Chains A and B, each alone.
Chain A
Amino acid sequence: MNLQAPDYLIIIVYFLFVIGVGFLIKRKIKSSNDFLSSSRNIPLWITSLAFISANLGAQEVIGMVASGAKYGIMTVHFYWVGAIFAMVFLGVFMMPFYYGSKARSVPEYLSLRFDEKTRGLNAISFAVMTVFSSGISLYALAKMLEIILKWNFDVSIWVAAGIVMVYTFLGGLTSAVYNEVLQFFLIVLGLSPLVIVALHDAGGWENVKAQLPSYMTHAWKYMGDPDANPMGLHFMSLIFGLGFVMSFGYWCTDFLVVQRAMIAKNMGDAQRTPIIAAIPKMLMPLIVVLPGVVAIALMQPALQANGYRIPVEADGQLNYTMTLPSLIAHYYPSGLLGVGITALMASFMSGMAGNVTAFNAVVTYDVYQAYFVKRRSDKHYLVFGKFVTVAGILISIATAYIAKGFNNINDFLQLVFGFVNGPLFATFLLGMFWKRTTGHGAFWGLVFGTLGAAITHGLTIAEGKGGWIAPLFPIKSGMGQAFIVAAVSWIVNFVLTIVISLATKPKPDKDLVGLVYSLTEKPKYTSAKWYQRIVPLAILLLAITIILNIIFF
């Protein structure tokens, strides 16, 4: 793939715009709250698109296209099972606690609801996870640029990280959020022509279905038998592992995404943020799953005349991670190629900036201010927040250099999320909806839940990964292994938190007002029109999601 002058021009224009946004926002940054939490002053449409865009990083765009090619249309489960329900649950039930408690971060909520040790554990594990994700994004970007454009790996890493550092350092969270919205439109509009032309080349959806084995074009039909579908999963594992544990663990507790709803102007907008975001999320498979499925169809004998091939690795296996870049190289002419490459860069930068801005808020609020330097001027925390931003980028760069050896980025990230987020949702579920849950129960439940995840990973083996204790339980796919690890960790945490809570002393009711469902007044929106009210919107979204699942059954 060779870029021409117009391609480079588009990339340069994009870089100038994202840095320009940083400079524009810089003038508005007066306090640590402006820098780290946008002073809760961002309009609904921006928080909603930033909410989805923060998740639209490497794992979403490159990883989901790769999964579409590898697993077929079943990949839509990450959206229609593994996202929408959790996003709606977050908006309807959990945002009132996050927003109403005035916590500046998810770990801070844990400190209000439970105690400092639970907050510390969550803050540190989250911080590690975010820089790791950020490093993975960076590694994947540099690797992709090295393979498809022959750009130097080291230069790509430092230039991409440098640009993200400039705009996050200048404008903090607001700058990252504004750029995430620009990146969202760039990704959607930049990749839409690719989907249309590839699908047209494949003879339309009906021909794609005719070319591929039936299990590649049905979401549920082959889920009754793990050996009959490419993910190697039974539908109960999928529903519990992905649809409940991993999905709710990520969307409802991961500060990276929840942060985008917490900066809304008021409670109503904070609740609507994940619900409005669920609308584009529901349609995202058209951009990130469909191209993967079409790519595999294009390689079938009847369509081989089009000349498209997914690149292969040294061992002859298809390199699924390269599906999207190879589609762009195959279909996009000069000019549009620049748009496609810029869209890919935007997805990596969006993911990285999201991670870095969540990392700097948690490290500043929940580690530095909570445990080390408690009562200093606001300017002190603003300066420290900027310092952590730079440190986060540098750690990400270091992480990128060690993040090698995985042929499907998505499998790996799901595994990491399974370790950290899997058990976490049990803590929040019990903490928000059972006032008897104690700090000791929450803390030890989290510790043993995460330990349970590690042990499960050590006893299971899939695609050569895991089994480091003893490979006793082989699993067909890495994704299936991640679901099982998450499910076990959730159950361990849930049971242990209940048992330990019953044996320890709970907080008095007066300390839990605004933090626990049964002790909190529910927000009412009786005067708003139906489409502005939380529950009718949520029900409509759930109904559409169920219909989509039925259509692609």
Chain B
Amino acid sequence: MYKKLNNLSFVIGAFFTIVSLILFANILITGRNDALSLYSASAFLIFGVVMMFTS
């Protein structure tokens, strides 16, 4: 895990994955029909996961 943390793409991927999870959680908790947040969170999640897997 420590080795992974030394890989910048993994760190960037982890950051965007966490941000996307916060956005998803916010949508779920508030129950708001917010397409902009939903699409943005999805894009961040895809980007984050791809960055982590390619690290």
Contact between A24 and B6, CB atoms less than 8 A apart: yes
Binding site secondary structure of chain A? helix
Q: Which residue of B lies closest to A337 (CB)?
A: B37
Contact between B12 and A181, CB atoms less than 8 A apart: yes
Q: Take A193-B36, A333-B37, A339-B40 as given contacts and tell me if A10 and B22 are in contact as well, using a CB distance cutoff of 8 Å.
A: yes
| Residues in B whose Cβ lies below 8 Å from that of A6 | 22-23, 25-26
Report the minimal beta-carbon distance from A63 to chain B, rounded to whole angstroms.
25
Contact between B36 and A331, CB atoms less than 8 A apart: yes
Q: B27 at the A/B interface (Cβ < 8 Å)?
A: yes
| Residues in B whose Cβ lies below 8 Å from that of A17 | 11, 14-15
| Residues in A whose Cβ lies below 8 Å from that of B23 | 6, 335-336, 339
| Residues in B whose Cβ lies below 8 Å from that of A335 | 22-23, 26-27, 37, 41
Q: Which of these, B19, B25, B26, B40, contacts A193 with CB under 8 Å?
A: B40
| Chain B residues touching A, range | 20 to 34
Most buried by B among A182, A332, A336: A336
Contact between B22 and A9, CB atoms less than 8 A apart: yes
Q: A373 at the A/B interface (Cβ < 8 Å)?
A: no
| Residues in A whose Cβ lies below 8 Å from that of B15 | 13-14, 17, 182, 186
Binding site secondary structure of chain B? helix
Q: Take A189-B43, A189-B47 as given contacts and tell me if A182 and B11 are in contact as well, using a CB distance cutoff of 8 Å.
A: yes
Contact between B32 and A333, CB atoms less than 8 A apart: yes
Q: Which of these, B12, B19, B40, contacts A13 with CB under 8 Å?
A: B19
| Residues in B whose Cβ lies below 8 Å from that of A395 | none
| Residues in A whose Cβ lies below 8 Å from that of B18 | 13
Q: Among residues 301 to 341 in chain A, which have CB atoms less than 8 Å away from a CB atom of chain B?
A: 331-336, 338-339
Q: Among residues 3 to 37 in chain B, which have CB atoms less than 8 Å away from a CB atom of chain A?
A: 5-6, 8, 11-12, 14-16, 18-19, 22-23, 25-27, 30, 32, 34, 36-37
- Complex alpha-carbon distance, A331 and B35, angstroms: 12
Contact between A13 and B22, CB atoms less than 8 A apart: yes
Contact between A333 and B34, CB atoms less than 8 A apart: yes
Report the minimal beta-carbon distance from A181 to chain B, rounded to whole angstroms.
6
Q: Take A6-B25, A14-B15, A185-B16 as given contacts and tell me if A334 and B30 are in contact as well, using a CB distance cutoff of 8 Å.
A: yes
Report the minimal beta-carbon distance from A27 to chain B, rounded to whole angstroms.
9
Which residues of B approach A to under 8 Å, CB–CB? Answer: 5-6, 8, 11-12, 14-16, 18-19, 22-23, 25-27, 30, 32, 34, 36-37, 39-41, 43-44, 47
